[in-house]
Amino acid sequence: MPPKNILLLIADDLGREQLGCYGCPDVKTPNIDALAASGTRFDHAFTSTASCSGSRTVIYTGLHTHENGCYGLHHGRNGFQTFTNVETAPDIFNRLGYRTGILGKVHVGAPELYPWHVREESETRNVALIADRAETFFQESNKADTSFFLTVGFVDPHRQLQTRGGFGNVDHNHDARLEDRIYASDEVTVPAYLSDIPEVRHELAEYYRAINRLDQGVGRILAALDRVGLADDTMVLFMSDNGPPFINSKTTLYEAGIRLPFIVRAPGLVTPGGCVSNNLVSYIDILPSMLDWAGHPGLPAVDGRLHRRGRSFLPILDCEVDNPAWSHVFGSHTFHEITNYWPTRFMRNRRYKYHRNVCWKLNFPFSMDLYASLSFEGMRNSGTDTSPAMIGPRSLKSYICRPAEELFDLDNDPLELHNLAGEAEHATVLKDMRNALEAWQLETDDLWLWRDDAPVVRYISSNYAREGLSIPDRFDFDPERPATTGFPSYPLFPSTSKP
C-alpha cells in the first residue's frame, strides 16, 4: 500500500483577497494558483480565531481555542499554551508510526505536547533555504520508507515587528535564487475594508512583495516533493493562520480576519483540473481530515485526553454542490496579546453572521503590530472637526465600540456594517442563531457563555441552581438594578433550536 504522506503549509497573516486564485488582479502567485488548479479551492473556509497561535492550535488539535487552552499568543509574557489533556497532531501521527517534522514558525506549546521528530524552528524568510530543508526531510523519509507528516510554518507575509510598515523585505530577502518583486503603491488594490490613503497603499505594496516571496517558497517545496517522487502519495494543504495584518481584519472575527485561503490537493480524490467548493469548512476539520487521509478516521483518544471535535472534509473534496451538512461554522476569540482581552464568539451560515461580544463595554483593543502600523496612523488621523475618522467604510468609533450582539446579512452587507440585531424583521434569525451559538458554547464547555456576568457552564455544573441560585437572563450585571427579581431566570438548559 503506498504511503499516505501529509504536507501542511501555513502562511502567516495571508488574506484570501491577495491571491490570484481568489481573484486578486495584482500580486502574482503562480505557484499557489497552480496548486489550487490541481486540487480543491475552498471559498468558504474559516479559522476559529483570527490570531496566530490560537489558529494553529485549532489546526493541530481539532478543538476551538476555549477548549484547547491557547486563548491567545504563545510567546514571551503572554504564556498561553495547549492544555496537557489535549491530543495534538504530531503526537497522534507519531503514535501512528509517521515521521513528523516542522520547519520555520512553530508558535505553539508547550514543546512536550508537540513532539515533532524533526523541529527546526526559525524566523527566517529565506524560503529557498526552507525548501532545501524540506527536500532533505522528504529524502530522509523516502530512504527510511516511512510515511511523513511535515508542517512548514512560513514567516511571510507577517509584518516585521522591529520596523513600522516593514514586511521583512530589506533584511531577509538575501538568497540569490529568489526573485524580488517590488510593487509601486499605484499597483495595489485596496481592499474594501480599508481606506484608500497613501499609508495603506505603501504597506500593501510591501505586503505584496512578501507574498511574492511566500509564493516562491511554496513552489520550491512542491517542486522538491515532485523531484523526490512523492507528489502522487502526498496530500498537500495550504492555508493561512488568520487574515491580513491590517485593521478590520487580523484579531477580529469579521470576514477578512477569519475567512481564509484554503487549498487541498489529495491525489485520487479530486478530478483533474481541480474544483471550487462553496461548502463551509472550519479549521477544526483539518486534523480529522488528515487522519482520514492516513486511514485512521476513527482513531480514539488515549489516556482520557480530550478528543478532537471536527470532521473529515475528504468526502466533499470533489463536490461543487452546496452540501446542507456543511452549512455553518462557529468560532471563538478571547485574547491576542495578553493585553488584548476582548472575548467574542461567532456563528456563520451561508447568509448570516452572528457575533456575541461578551465584554462589549470594553474598547476593542489593538495588537502592537497593528497599533504601530503606518496604515492605522493614517486612518486614525483622517478625521476632521466635521467628519469622523474612518477605517474604510466603517467609522473608527464603531470599530472600537461595539454592541453586545451583532447580526449581519452577508448577501447584502459583506463588510458587516449594518447591524440587524435590533430590527424586528430579523428577530427570528437573531433568536435562532443566538440559541444555536449558546448550545454550541454549552457543548464545548465555554466559560465565556455568560449571564449577569457569571459563567453559565460553572453554574450548570455546580449545585448552586439546585440550592436556589437563580441567574438573571441578561448578558451583563446591572449595577443600577442589581436585584435578581424582575428578570426572568436563565434556563438551566437553554433552547437548542437549529440554525
Q: How far is CA 408 from the centre of its chain?
A: 20
Query: What is the rounded radius of gyration, in angstroms, for the C-alpha atoms of the chain?
Result: 23
DSSP characters for 342-403?
EEEEEEEESSEEEEEETTTTSPPP--HHHHT-HHHHHHHT---SSS--EETTEEHHHHHS--
Q: Which cell is 83 given?
A: 492544555
> How far apart are alpha carbons 154 and 175 in whole angstroms?
16
Beta strand 5-11 with 234-240 is parallel
> How far apart are alpha carbons 102 and 238 in whole angstroms?
14
Q: Which cell is 351 given?
A: 447568509
> How far apart are alpha carbons 272 and 270 in whole angstroms?
6
- CB of 331 closer than 8 Å to CB of 48: yes
Domain ranges of the chain: 5-335, 346-430, 431-499
Helix (H), strand (E) at residue 261: strand 259-265
Bridge partner residues of 99 (DSSP)? 148
CATH for 5-335 is 3.40.720.10
Name the residue with cell 520547519: 103
> How far apart are alpha carbons 458 and 441 in whole angstroms?
12
pLDDT of res. 493? 57
pTM over 0.85: yes
Q: Above 50 in pLDDT, residue 244?
A: yes
**pLDDT band (50, 70, 90) for residue 494:** low
pLDDT, tens digit, 9 for 90 and up, residues 138-191: 999 999 999 999 999 999 999 998 889 999 998 656 799 999 999 999 999 999
Q: Which of the two residues, 76 and 275, has the higher pLDDT score?
A: 275
pLDDT of res. 173? 61
Q: Which cell is 190 given?
A: 485596496
**pLDDT band (50, 70, 90) for residue 22:** very high
Q: How far apart are the first and last CA of the chain?
A: 42
Longest dimension (CA), the chain: 73
Name the residue with cell 458554547: 441
pLDDT, tens digit, 9 for 90 and up, residues 61-93: 999 999 999 999 998 888 899 999 999 999 999
* Per-residue burial over 88-103, b = 16 or more CB atoms within 10 Å of its CB, e = otherwise: bbbbbbbebebbbbbb
Catalytic residues: 52
Q: Which cell is 70 given?
A: 491557547
